[in-house]
Amino acid sequence: MIMAVARRSLRIDLHGYDVRAALDLALTRIREAYENGYDEVELIHGAASVSTPVEEGRGRIKSELRQMYESGRFDAWVDRSRSWPKAGSLLLALKANPRPVRARWSGTPQRRHR
């Protein structure tokens, strides 16, 4: 008998946050999702048409997240061999947590833009 196991997935939309708040929220939610026993986190950053890193303006959150991913900032919780950047998001497969806690989430910062 084959049993399907539901994957616990979390999607975080980073639209409307300033760059610092978006990056802090991403780090916090990745850590919390790992602690809570989730399987994956998808960070929705948008800017699908932006293909080169930018220092300012549209696509900056995407550029910063990709740099964090490439430099290993998420490696404590993320299995990079099963993760990948998409055009408008970053899909992160989390490492298995042998002792997940009961779901707890911190507060969400205020969005700067609608």
Over residues 20-55, the pLDDT tens digits come to: 999 999 999 999 999 999 999 999 998 656 555 556
Q: Which of 58, 67, 57, 54 is nearest to 26 (CA)?
A: 67
Query: pTM (2 decimals)?
Result: 0.83
CA-based radius of gyration for the chain: 15
Chain-centre distance for alpha carbon 54: 19
